[in-house]
Amino acid sequence: MLNTELNITKVDDFYAYLIESHEELSTTQSQAMNAALVLLLSNHLGNFQVLQEAIDAAKKIALSSD
């Protein structure tokens, strides 16, 4: 089951680090980094059902952002 409750330690530090990591990248490099990050974290998580739930939730958020 996908955990959508806040579960990140040092959430402010994480967010700042994530944003800063994109600063010197072109748009293409930033998109490549995001894709690589998704694949690395997906591999770490490893549970297909949870990954499927996460993809569905992220798509729903993206579609509602217009």
**pLDDT tens digit sequence for 18-59:** 999 999 999 999 999 999 999 999 999 999 999 999 999 999
Q: Which two tokens stand for residue 13?
A: 């530090």
d(CA 54, CA 44): 14
Confidence (pLDDT) at 17:
97
DSSP secondary structure letters along 1-63: ----S---TTHHHHHHHHHHTTTT--HHHHHHHHHHHHHHHHHHH--HHHHHHHHHHHHHHHH
Residue 25: which residues within 8 A CB-CB, separation 6 or more?
Answer: 33
Map out the domains of the chain as residue ranges.
Answer: 11-63
